[in-house]
Amino acid sequence: MSVWRGSWKRRGLTLVLVGLLCAFTGWVFLRSAAEFWDYHWAIRYEALALAFLVYSVDLWLATVAWHTVCRVVMGEHPYLAGTRGYVTSLLFRRLPSGLFGIGSRLYLYEKMGRRWPETATAMAIEWVSTVIAGGLVGLTYVVSQPAVPWPGKIGLLAVGIAAAGVAQPRLIAYAGRRVSRSWPSDSSEPGVSIVHISGWQSAGIVGLYALVWIWGGLLLFVIVRALAEVPMYEVVRITGLWALAGTVGSLVVILPSGLGLVEMTLGTLLIGVVSAPVAAASAIGMRLVVTVGEFVWTVIIWWTGLLQRRINGGVPTFVDRRARKG
């Protein structure tokens, strides 16, 4: 009973925080409504085409990071089949609950012959690493502020890196225990043992997800540049605020990709760099480019899978070799 009470308390706190953020964001943009409609837009469509290419690289980095996590948890991991399941689950996150993304990945990996505790453990490690990497990259937004002196910037980065190094192994161990406990002990299937990750593996995984955040910040910068003139040096601050906004959305995993929480946070933070109309349009444009990119690459990946299936004489490619033998 106390578990449910604690769960409802956390959900209530989340809803309160989301409500406050929505109210603040609405107040900010309502003040700038007239400016938004009177703004003279000059969209650079070639920059939007470049944005799709940048997103494609960002997606590739994300698949490499996920593949690395899966190799730590599962051992052998087919890259192409795993990429198909990973990218498809990203698209399913756009449905009315982020749980669709989680469930779809568990289901698709089960079709590959992987038990769901293995996949759930990998997803828990992915989530922990994503949040920690997002927090580290988000520090660049703070240290890029002119008001912060250089000793403070160096100290803040050092403390952030040290805190991440201490917290991540403990958080991963905690996530592994929670997943293992959720697997019935009297089941015919054995549970998943707690995954032990070395310090170098842990740092490498966080580093990969940091690259994903950095490349995502570059994508946001390209979108902002498609709508307004922004100095090149602002790429550091924009990358940092993208990581902060994305990390906020990652913390609310039950909502559909943050349910606009990322866009609201992103639009609010961007007002410190560009005007309110450009900030709002950039946040919406970021979501559109990512969603279109996920859809396009999902179609491409599944089409190539069907093509390979025809070449292989009807043998499904989305099945692990060990599952076929069974």
The number of CA neighbours under 13 Å toward the Cβ of 114 is 27
Cα-based distances in Å from 277 to 45, 100, 223, 298:
18, 32, 13, 32
Q: Could you report the per-residue pLDDT of 238-270, keeping only the tens digit for each?
A: 999 999 888 887 776 545 444 567 777 888 888
Supply the pLDDT for residue 308. 63
**pLDDT beneath 50, residues of the chain:** 1-6, 184-192, 254, 256-258, 315-326
8 Å CB contact between 262 and 282: no
Supply the pLDDT for residue 1. 38
Supply the pLDDT for residue 10. 53
Q: Could you report the per-residue pLDDT of 104-141, keeping only the tens digit for each?
A: 888 888 888 888 888 888 888 898 889 889 988 988 88
Supply the pLDDT for residue 64. 94
Supply the pLDDT for residue 22. 60
CB burial of residue 51 (10 Å; 0-12, 13-18, 19+):
buried
DSSP 2-30: HHHHHHHHHHHHHHHHHHHHHHHHHHHHH
**What SS3 string covers the chain?**
CHHHHHHHHHHHHHHHHHHHHHHHHHHHHHHCHHHHHHCCCCCCHHHHHHHHHHHHHHHHHHHHHHHHHHHHHHCCCCHHHHHHHHHHHHHHCCCCCCHHHHHHHHHHHHHCCCCHHHHHHHHHHHHHHHHHHHHHHHHHHHHCCCCCCHHHHHHHHHHHHHHHHHHHHHHHHHHHHHHHHHCCCCCCCCCCCCCCCCHHHHHHHHHHHHHHHHHHHHHHHHHHHHHCCCCCCHHHHHHHHHHHHHHHHHHCCCCHHHCCHHHHHHHHHHCCCCCHHHHHHHHHHHHHHHHHHHHHHHHHHHHHHHHHHHHCCCCCCCCCHHHHHC
Q: Which of 121, 307, 96, 259 lies closest to 105 in space, CA to CA? A: 121
Supply the pLDDT for residue 210. 93
Copy the structure tokens of residue 230: 């922004």
CB atoms within 10 A of CB 316: 15
d(CA 101, CA 323): 23
8 Å CB contact between 152 and 127: no
Copy the structure tokens of residue 58: 């960002």
d(CA 228, CA 223): 9
The answer, as to whether pTM is greater than 0.85, is: no
- Phi then psi dihedrals of residue 313, to 5 deg: 80, 35
